Structure 1
């Protein structure tokens, strides 16, 4: 692969997905896209780049993005965010929304679904307390392939044993050969939609809770700020925003800021629960909370 070809692919991936590749990641491009070339009958990466340059093939561009996207995820990943969800965020939002009895949760970059399904299992365990509530969990991802896997809810033994408590495995999964199928009830609690974090998100509506974990680490600083700013517009006042353990807003944006009391939890910069002294967000119009299915 020539330097010109590598630069072309870096630019394409950044524009289409926000992925920021350093020069040291050239080996990763050669490895993953080499496999794609073989699947498509292309001689090498130069032939792939030539096809992309000349044809403007949107489907092939999507396949390149798909091949380069990292879909690492697991059930109850890092545990702390899920404890925060159960012990802090949920009681807070149930009190705030007691009048309308609705709760909307977004899992951005949901990958093969483990994060969204982990939240759904927590909510199902609290079903008695949530009787009469309308709860929506929306999971989005740029990759149609991983969304299809998430909808199927079929996981390998390796995927199951990473973070999933045994009591939840026995309660919510059934074995199918050497794999495990998540119960239809839990799968039905999550609506999965294709969405690119770089594209407008107004159609998603407003959310009480937004999980956007372990995806921003692949973006450069301007793209991180853009994505967090766009997601902040989907967050209700005093709603909760959760990032990955290795992610931060410090030095990137003041639209989302740390919570006053809880490490790992973030708020809209204008929230009464936001930690003072870390900036404030500009005034933004708020849309009413939406409910019901949307296309």
Structure 2
């Protein structure tokens, strides 16, 4: 039987590997999510897995534990109001700002299985046909190698396309393949997915016009939240936009960002941009 000491060790391991702060009330998640990791390590239960992690310090298993405990909750067009603000306020302003270069870069940070990035791509196709002639790239990054691979495949189960995706967009932008739905090539080609830990050194990334960092910061300790926001600020164009989750704020970063409101939602701009 897994002891409180074992759970405490696992929480500490996940925090050190990914800055994901897991509350003790969620200890039982370890039991279900780490069962495949235990099998990978050649043991039959969580208690023995902790023993392996402590004795042998296997880097690949430490990383696998952290990835397994990442919250991969997502859906197409998750939360209506932020997408309305992007469609009605942010994108028209960006199109005006970038009308000369015709280059647009968007970052879906913590992209999970890709629905957020692909929702943005479909929105651009659906509402902004002018962008068909632009150089548009949407980059999704996530801590989990499994999730970035899944996102790149762009093939979703019925339960996934039934969450948040209007039926007309399913028919217009997906092709049915057996019991799954695959995004059409022109949508897939707009998106690229990379492995990245927001709390560690990031891969080489461009400067972005729009960054979505939604429902991520709330899992980080306060110090890590401030550090991540500094990294985001460095990668955000001075005229760019940052969208956080509805329950998140850029606290302790008022020297970097200022808040604006639109369409019943809010977003952030660089504090230096007026």
Q: Separation in 2 of the partners of 1:54 and 1:257? A: 48
Root-mean-square deviation (Å): 1.8
Q: CA deviation at 1:218?
A: 1.4
What's the CA shift for 1:114?
0.4
1:253 paired with 2:253, answer yes
Matched residue SS, 1:88: helix
Name whichever of 64-73 and 255-264 sits farther off. 255-264
Alignment correspondent of 2:186: 185
What's the CA shift for 1:144?
0.9
Compute the displacement of 1:40 (Å). 3.7
TM-score normalised over the length of structure 1:
0.86
**Residues 60-99 of structure 1 mapped to structure 2, 5 A cutoff:** 60-99=61-100
Residues 1:204 and 2:205 are matched in the alignment: yes
Q: Secondary structure at the match of 1:203?
A: coil
Q: C-alpha displacement at 1:165, in angstroms?
A: 1.1
Tell me the residue number matched to 2:18: 17
Tell me the distance in 2 between the aligned counterparts of 1:97 and 1:236: 12
Inter-partner Cα distance in structure 2 for 1:168 and 1:72? 21
3-state SS, counterpart of residue 198 of structure 1: coil
Report deviation, 1:30: 2.9
Asked if 1:222 corresponds to 2:229, the answer is: no
Residues 228-259 of structure 1 deviation map (CA, whole Å, 9 limit, x = unaligned): 12111111112110011122224x43233311
TM-score (norm 2): 0.92
Aligned counterparts of 1:43 and 1:119: Cα–Cα separation in 2: 42
| Secondary structure class of the residue paired with 2:129 | coil
User: Is 1:144 matched with 2:108?
Assistant: no
User: In the alignment, which residue of structure 2 is the partner of 1:264?
Assistant: 266
Residue 129 of structure 1, CA deviation: 1.3
Greater relative CO, 1 or 2 (CA 8 Å, sep 6+)? 2
Structure 2: segments with no counterpart, 5+ residues: none
> How many residue pairs are counted as aligned between the two chains?
271
Partners of 1:131 and 1:179 in 2: CA distance: 27
